[in-house]
């Protein structure tokens, strides 16, 4: 219910096992916006969610940062 079916997660990484960076892409920005909003509404999954970068192209790519609960 958190990840729309049109959103593809490219990379999930963490340098310190507390802060997580997620790279995702989709054909349209609204799908990614829904994904970010879902993460913000579910703090038991990821807290302090921020959008670090948005790259427009044939697909929209996004970098999302947050802290594990």
Q: Give me the tens of pLDDT residue by residue for the chain, a chain 69 residues long.
A: 789 999 999 999 998 989 999 999 999 999 999 999 999 999 999 999 999 999 999 999 999 999 999
Phi first, then psi, for residue 47 (nearest 5°) are -110, 160
56 vs 18: CA distance, rounded Å: 28
């Amino acid at each position: 219910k958190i990840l729309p079916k049109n959103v593809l997660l490219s990379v999930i990484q963490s340098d310190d096992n507390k802060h997580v960076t997620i790279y995702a892409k989709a054909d349209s920005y609204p799908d990614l916006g829904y994904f970010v909003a879902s993460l913000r509404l579910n703090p038991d999954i990821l807290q302090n969610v921020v959008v670090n970068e948005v790259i427009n192209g044939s697909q929209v790519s996004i970098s999302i940062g947050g802290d594990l609960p």
